[in-house]
Structure 1
Amino acid sequence: MLQAWALEGIPEVSPGDDLVDLIANAIARSTPLADGDIVVVTSKIVSKAEGRILHADDREDAITEQTVRLVASRTSPTGHVTRIVENPLGIVSAAAGVDASNTPDGTVLLLPADPDASAREIASGLRERCGARVGVLVTDTLGRAWREGQTDHAIGAAGVHVFEDLRGHTDTEGRPLVVTMPCVADEIAGAADLVKGKAAGLPVAVVRGRADLVGDLDLPGARTIVRPAERDMFRQGADEAYAEGYAAGRAARA
């Protein structure tokens, strides 16, 4: 049976705060951790603890600085510009993950510089502090191609198998599974988000019931979830791809 609960009592996080200590103290007031639990941590508090706060009056400038590649850009009827970009982590998302919510005026929050390393540090500290072999996911809220709305995804992982590779197994009818490889890290991130919420001030949750996914701290991290460029069939937005193809055609005719 899968269980998930949010940890209460984690205070506002500031640069330099010890997240292991804050999380362990919240756990001490809640259900003790057990071997195989997965602790899911919202990336915002990781960024705050690591001082990833940028003093920027213009969020758009911060997005530009964090943009490695523009995927698509659209201007709404009200003049608001939405940019889908690839950020330095290789993640494609709106606004490069730059967040201006729940931050002091004149500042924006960047994603952790290395979410997998952040997850390993938290997981190692919690294993030592709580005496349980746990995994850790660091998550962020992302949109999805072809679907409205947002959900949480894993951007950092330690001690957790991010995929459940079912290739080579058979389905209930005995047919071989050829490409089935669920991204269980994202599924767990979404489940944890159901109990953390977006505006409840509960940035950490525990998911119990998938101990089979918890392993050594040096398991491949969430960086492996990002699809390599050579296998990405959607590298550009529709308008951008059309414009590039049109320009290439005109150049060839010239």
Structure 2
Amino acid sequence: MEAFAVEGLPEIRAGDDLATLIDEHVDFEAGDVLCLASTVVSKAEGRKADLADFPASSRAEAIAERLESVTGETKDPRFAQAVLAESEELVIEAPFLLAVTRFGHVTVNAGIDRSNVPGAELLLLPEDPTASAERLSEALGVPVVVTDTSGRPFRYGQRGVAIGWAGLPAARDWRGESDRDGRELDVTVQAVVDELAAAANLVAGEGGGGTPAVVIRGWEFGDHAGSDELFRADEDDLVRDALREWEFER
């Protein structure tokens, strides 16, 4: 398998034809998968915003005040309002905001970015990353994974994850297959779109590299059942359920 960044893409602006720009910079081959940072998808879809776009509600004021009290840092209630606006639920309100986005991804600050956003203060995630991936996949003729950088419970550091995908299943389902000793696998479902996103992130990097598009070449899904379940359903999420009952104490 090979992973390489698409070089030479310009700064993406609202209304840009992202598929055409990418197609001008890479010759796709059969079996390629395009992993694309959500930042450029958001920019093309006009998802830049300013804090002034989010007048603070009383709840946002209270959240910001609580965060200031536990972190000792000044917090802008308008940012808290932006997170609320982009969220279906806040699972944690202190010492940070852990949000469930409207498309099911659980992440800090609803995935709102404040870096690499020329001409604006905030960059919101795409409204529907899978719909974005579907449009790009249809235009380019290859599977597309929309990625974001996310932290992980129980571990330090961040890694790339998939927040939208099209043209391939989200997971390889190994259940019913056998291991080397002939034992039947009964729980293994491999989240391949997350693994491809993490591999792409190694090549794309972070910060100011300017290489948000990565092509995965030579990877094969194989002869396995597929699944599109990636975001754990609320009723099955024991960790999320436990966090709702937890309150931060300094």
Structure 1 length-normalised TM: 0.81
One of 68, 77, 95 as aligned partner of 2:88: 68
Q: How big is the alpha-carbon RMSD for the aligned residues of Structure 1 and Structure 2?
A: 2.1
Residue 214 of structure 2 is matched in structure 1 by 205
AA in 1 matched with 2:239 = F
> Unpaired segments of 5 or more residues in structure 1?
76-81, 128-133, 244-254
Residue 189 of structure 1 is matched in structure 2 by 197
Shift of residue 145, structure 1, vs aligned partner: 1.4
Residue 230 of structure 2 is matched in structure 1 by 225
Preserved contact between residue 154 and residue 185 of structure 1 (Cα < 8 Å): yes
Residue 235 of structure 1 is matched in structure 2 by 240
Tell me, in whole angstroms, the C-alpha distance in 1 between the residues paired with 2:33 and 2:131. Answer: 16
Tell me, in whole angstroms, the C-alpha distance in 1 between the residues paired with 2:204 and 2:28. Answer: 17
One of 27, 36, 54 as aligned partner of 2:49: 54
Preserved contact between residue 37 and residue 211 of structure 1 (Cα < 8 Å): no
Q: Show CA shifts across 1:163-204 (max 9, x none).
A: 011000111121110000110000000001111001211000
Shift of residue 233, structure 1, vs aligned partner: 0.5
Tell me, in whole angstroms, the C-alpha distance in 1 between the residues paired with 2:234 and 2:38. Answer: 25
Cα pair distance change 1:121/1:105, threshold 3 Å: closer
Residue 29 of structure 2 is matched in structure 1 by 34
Tell me, in whole angstroms, the C-alpha distance in 1 between the residues paired with 2:197 and 2:184. Answer: 28
AA in 2 matched with 1:178 = D
Tell me, in whole angstroms, the C-alpha distance in 2 between the residues paired with 1:83 and 1:46. Answer: 24
Preserved contact between residue 71 and residue 237 of structure 1 (Cα < 8 Å): no
Residue 162 of structure 2 is matched in structure 1 by 154
Identity of aligned residues (%): 39
Query: Aligned with 2:14: secondary structure?
Result: coil
AA in 1 matched with 2:206 = K
Query: Aligned with 1:26: secondary structure?
Result: coil
Tell me, in whole angstroms, the C-alpha distance in 1 between the residues paired with 2:131 and 2:82. Answer: 23
Residue 39 of structure 2 is matched in structure 1 by 44
Query: Aligned with 2:221: secondary structure?
Result: helix
Tell me, in whole angstroms, the C-alpha distance in 1 between the residues paired with 2:16 and 2:227. Answer: 27
Paired residues in the alignment total 220
Preserved contact between residue 59 and residue 98 of structure 1 (Cα < 8 Å): no
Tell me, in whole angstroms, the C-alpha distance in 2 between the residues paired with 1:13 and 1:211. Answer: 30
Residue 78 of structure 1 is matched in structure 2 by none
Preserved contact between residue 161 and residue 197 of structure 2 (Cα < 8 Å): yes
Preserved contact between residue 72 and residue 237 of structure 1 (Cα < 8 Å): no
Preserved contact between residue 6 and residue 196 of structure 1 (Cα < 8 Å): yes
**Range 181-190 or range 100-109, more displaced:** 100-109
Cα pair distance change 1:56/1:213, threshold 3 Å: farther
> Unpaired segments of 5 or more residues in structure 2?
53-77
Q: Show CA shifts across 1:93-119 (max 9, x none).
A: 000011111113653111111111111
Residue 24 of structure 1 is matched in structure 2 by 23
